[in-house]
Structure 1
Amino acid sequence: MRRTAFAAVAAVLLLAGCSGEDGSSDKKDAAQTPEQALAAAKKTLDETSGVHLTLASKNVDDTISGLLSGSGTLTDAPAFDGKIVVQIAGLKPEVPVIAVDGKVYAQLPLTSGWQDIDPTDYGAPDPAALMSPDRGLSSMLTATTDPKRGDSVRGGEGNKEVLTSYSGTLPASAAKAFVPSVAGDVDATYTLTADDQLREAVLTGDFYGTGASETYTVTVDDYGTEKDITAP
């Protein structure tokens, strides 16, 4: 009898571990449609004061002039302060960037001080615009068509978060906010937390019109970040 009771308790604990302390996460996910879950994540991102954003890429051909990676603080001003790595003329410089008030400033290699640049010349968007409710990361969530709910897993720091994936198709018109040269619709997979935060977006498609496929992974954390970002 002791063994049976122990097994029953272990099963209950295992189920609780997959659904949150009170099981509310699974109940909430089951009650939401994928469209509702993505809309809730958009609302959370639109309402936060700022986040930390990290970008990584895969399969970007060496001949392409484009965005490879980056990281920095993104605020609701909207503004951005961080660094990006671009690929141009065979070089892959890490470039400090500040974007605010509709302008983008960079410390370009072999130059002194900050330069006012057009990021599309480097295959990149205005990074501050990624915080725009109408043409930023959050708008991609609700622009994604035919979203499907995937698995829920434990993750994050100390495996304390319940993370659920949602996959669908991001139309090219919406993906242009991310890479302006995108040539078609993009396969999108989003990872959301139980408290409606976008944690990760994985976007795969022909971003540079070559007929090949590149993948960008955007990680978002530190919701509620506050930083006064000004022009250099």
Structure 2
Amino acid sequence: MPLSLPRLAFALVALLAALLVMTSCGDEEPTKGRTPKQVLASAQKHLDETSGINFSIASDDLPEGITTLKAATGTLTREPAFQGTLTVPVMGAEAQVEVVSVDGVVYAKLPFTTAFQELDPADYGVPDPAALIAPETGISSLLSATQDVKIGKSVRGGADNDEILSTYTGTLPATAVQKILAGAAGDFDATYVINDSDELTEATIKGHFSGEGEAAYSYTIDVTDYGVEKEITKP
């Protein structure tokens, strides 16, 4: 049965729209002639040179009985310093703890308290959050340590759907992850999402964070803002 004129016009418009989307993504070569490893190096440089970031970390598959970081959200600045909230398991429940880390000292407002106090984050199975922006021990150090890097698919995304987001996968050795969580063991699967400005927007790391004999689980890191400037002081 032949298409009516309105239906034919609608079909042509839909086809043209699909072709435009395919062309706009296809014309952009996400690696721009570089190897995937070089793209990760550029993303690392952006993280190491930014004044600060807003970010979050979350684990959706943290096994029961493991006391370590469940989630975090906040701001990291170059000092290094951190201000935000950590979520940790406490006696079968989840506790949200306000945390400030500055000048190498971590301060926290623990549950059922009203004032900040100094603490050692290792006592709670978590790293000093301010160290996550340090080039040698932070998020960016994972990028340079990733092995067997491969590029995956590219899609449109971002706040206004005006970015091309490309996925890269690889493997991380335990020595790289131990800089963030000391108990890490074995190889880790890494998946990164990098935009067309070579900025890391998301990283998912999965493996044995709590040791060889413990179940594997994952953390997803979302970087929402670069170039953040914020004065973080002792509470």
Change in Cα spacing, 1:107 to 1:7, as seen in structure 2 (3 Å) is closer
The residue that corresponds to 1:13 in the other structure is: 20
Deviations for 1:71-98, whole angstroms, at most 9, x for unmatched residues?
A: 0011111111000101133231100001
For residue 131 of structure 1, what is the aligned residue in structure 2? 133
Q: Report the alpha carbon displacement of residue 12 of structure 1 after superposing the two structures with TM.
A: 5.8
Which among 59, 82, 85 is matched to residue 84 of structure 2?
82
Distance 1:17 1:109, change over 3 A: same
Structure 1 window deviating more from structure 2 (170-179 vs 216-225): it is: 170-179
Please state whether the residue corresponding to 2:220 is helix, strand or coil. strand
Indicate the residue corresponding to 1:226 in structure 2: 229
Between 203-212 and 32-41, the greater mean CA deviation after superposition: 203-212
TM-score (normalised: structure 1)? 0.90
Q: Which residue does 1:50 correspond to in 2?
A: 52
Give the alignment of 1:91-170 within 5 angstroms: 91-170=93-172
Rounded Cα–Cα distance in structure 1 between residues aligned with 2:123 and 2:185: 17
My pick for the range that moved more, 102-111 or 130-139, is 102-111
Alignment match, 1:213: 216
Bigger mean CA offset, 78-87 vs 109-118: 109-118
Distance in 2 between residues matched to 1:11 and 1:211, nearest whole Å: 47
- Count of matched residue pairs: 225
- TM-score, with length taken from structure 2: 0.88
Q: 1:158 is aligned with what amino acid?
A: D
Matched residues in 2 for 1:168 and 1:71: separation? Answer: 25
Distance 1:179 1:156 in 2: 30
1:17 CA displacement: 2.4
- The structure 1 segments of at least 4 consecutive aligned residues displaced by more than 6 Å after TM superposition are 5-9
Which amino acid is the alignment partner of residue 224 of structure 1? Answer: G
Alignment map for 1:4-43 (pairs within 5 Å): 13-19=20-26, 23=27, 25-26=28-29, 28-43=30-45
Asked if the contact 1:65–1:88 (Cα under 8 Å) also holds between the matched residues in 2, the reply is yes
1:127 deviation in Å?
A: 0.7
Which sits farther off after the overlay, 190-199 or 58-67? 58-67
Taking a change above 3 Å as real, the CA distance of residues 160 and 65 of structure 1, as seen in their structure-2 partners, is: same
Candidates 63, 66, 77, aligned match of 1:64: 66
Partners in 2 of 1:202 and 1:123 — Cα distance? 20
Percent of aligned positions that are identical: 47
- Where does the alignment leave 5 or more consecutive residues of structure 2 unmatched? 1-8
CA RMSD of aligned residues (A): 2.1
Distance 2:130 2:14 in 1: 53
Separation of aligned partners in 2, 1:68 and 1:78: 22
Answer whether contact 1:64 1:88 (CA < 8 A) is retained.
no
Give distance in 2, aligned partners of 1:86 and 1:7: 48
**In the alignment, residue 50 of structure 2 is paired with which amino acid?**
T
